[in-house]
Amino acid sequence: MATKGQLTRQRILDEASPVFHRKGFLITTINDLLAATGMTKGNIYFHFANKEEIGLEVLRRARKTFKQFLDDSLRGETPGASLDNFFRHALERNRSKGFVGGCLFGNTALEACDNAPPFAELVGEVFAEWIGKLEETIEAAQDSGQVRQDLPASHLAELIVGTIEGGIMQSRLQKDAGPLQRALESLRILLELKV
Amino acid sequence: MATKGQLTRQRILDEASPVFHRKGFLITTINDLLAATGMTKGNIYFHFANKEEIGLEVLRRARKTFKQFLDDSLRGETPGASLDNFFRHALERNRSKGFVGGCLFGNTALEACDNAPPFAELVGEVFAEWIGKLEETIEAAQDSGQVRQDLPASHLAELIVGTIEGGIMQSRLQKDAGPLQRALESLRILLELKV
């Protein structure tokens, strides 16, 4: 059973997470976190050394959640179906949030990569894992003739991640699923994806 | 001839621009701008009502510069060559900055779209202009048989913008031109671009 201290720590992370997601890790202040958690400074600093430590822990938890999302969505009866399912779930995942907050990793990439090395490093690892998993599936889909074979799977995997991040960016700006949806539809055609 | 006041205003914008570019509009403080310009608060506030006004003016100037970049780079002897030149210049433009700072519009999109509507609106307009110009060229390239014709030019233009933004994101994280370069090379092949 979790101790009272563990539960409080958990609660801080739960309440801080959406704030960081919407405002960013660098611009969120400790006062924002006090408001979100309803706790005192003393209480929060008993559990975490500083704001950065809370932020990094939130990002580590998000990484686990995203890994689970990849495992759940990048699957199907064939490699082509797996990729198609992943595209569908990626759109749904973002649409269900109304394109508010967007991709925590993409946000953090742009916010942190010249200013906050520990955050940038963590996001770099998440992207590498994401690309690695896509690459495996694309390679299998190329072998089964469900994805075009004239481009390396690693390049296509990297392209898909970039295109999804760029699509989320445009969809968030417009608060409309259209850009991400069209990007994924175009990718299906360009990759000659067969299910 | 510019008055002394106009020159000071100009200087504030010149010095503020790289700070906003690297740190973002929301996280940059007025103290950062004082340090960058070497001016007093009184001096800056004589020319601008607040930090947001400086930021928006910096973004408006960047929009003009980017429009000029599009006019200069999206040109060639044929529509296909224009698109190819644009891809080359987009890579060079980012590589020459060492992938520090990245795309001011992309950064601002993610930073501002849930938090700072005037910034988000301006960036939305820049993206729309960018997509519009690409769409014209792609349409012409489709007519001349230099780009595949089975996808609407508007979808391809939107996809290119998203893919470039996503590629810059990945290149910035890795401080390596590779991801953006490979994304553009893949796009050339996927679009069946002929020069």
Compute the distance between CA of residue B193 and CA of residue B10 in angstroms, rounded to an integer.
42
Closest Cα to residue B184, out of B172, B171, B174?
B171
Closest Cα to residue B166, out of B115, B87, B103?
B103
- Tell me what pLDDT residue B101 has: 86
Per-residue confidence band for A32, with pLDDT thresholds at 50, 70 and 90:
very high
Please name the residue of chain B whose CA is at the shortest distance from the CA of residue A191: B190
Chain A residues lying within 8 Å of B167, measured CB to CB: 162, 166
Matching CATH number, B56-190, of 1.10.10.10, 3.30.70.270, 1.10.3720.10, 1.10.357.10: 1.10.357.10
Of A107, A123, A169, the CB nearest to B173: A123
Compute the distance between CA of residue B142 and CA of residue A7 in angstroms, rounded to an integer.
60
Show me where the domains of chain A are located: 55-190
**Mind telling me how many Å the CA of A97 is from chain B's nearest CA?**
12
Report the Cα–Cα distance between both ends of chain A, in Å, rounded.
Answer: 45
Please name the residue of chain B whose CA is at the shortest distance from the CA of residue A183: B159
Closest Cα to residue A180, out of A104, A73, A85, A99?
A99
Q: What confidence tens digit (pLDDT) does each residue in A146-157 have?
A: 999 999 999 999
Chain A residues lying within 8 Å of B157, measured CB to CB: none
Compute the distance between CA of residue B146 and CA of residue B142 in angstroms, rounded to an integer.
6
The answer to whether the CB of A132 falls within 8 A of the CB of A126 is: no
* A129 interfacial to chain B (CB closer than 8 Å): no
Write down the mean pLDDT value for chain B: 96
3-state secondary structure of A78: coil
Q: What confidence tens digit (pLDDT) does each residue in B6-55 have?
A: 999 999 999 999 999 988 998 899 999 999 999 999 999 999 999 999 99
Q: Within A38-152, where are the H helices?
A: 41-47, 51-73, 79-95, 104-112, 117-143
Chain B residues lying within 8 Å of A122, measured CB to CB: none
Chain-chain contact of A110 with B172 (C-beta, under 8 angstroms): yes
Compute the distance between CA of residue B180 and CA of residue B171 in angstroms, rounded to an integer.
6
**Residue B1 reports pLDDT greater than 80:** no
Q: What confidence tens digit (pLDDT) does each residue in B104-147 have?
A: 999 999 999 888 999 999 999 999 999 999 999 999 999 999 99
Chain A residues lying within 8 Å of B159, measured CB to CB: 163, 182-183, 186-187
- Tell me what pLDDT residue A166 has: 98
Q: What confidence tens digit (pLDDT) does each residue in A36-60 have?
A: 999 999 999 999 999 999 999 999 9
pLDDT (mean) for A1-15: 92
Give the A:B interface size as CB pairs under 8 Å: 145
Q: What confidence tens digit (pLDDT) does each residue in A101-136 have?
A: 889 999 999 999 888 999 999 999 999 999 999 999
The domain covering A55-190 belongs, at the CATH homologous superfamily level, to: Tetracycline Repressor, domain 2 (1.10.357.10)
pLDDT (mean) for B151-156: 98
Q: What confidence tens digit (pLDDT) does each residue in A180-193 have?
A: 999 999 999 999 99
Enter the ipTM.
Answer: 0.95
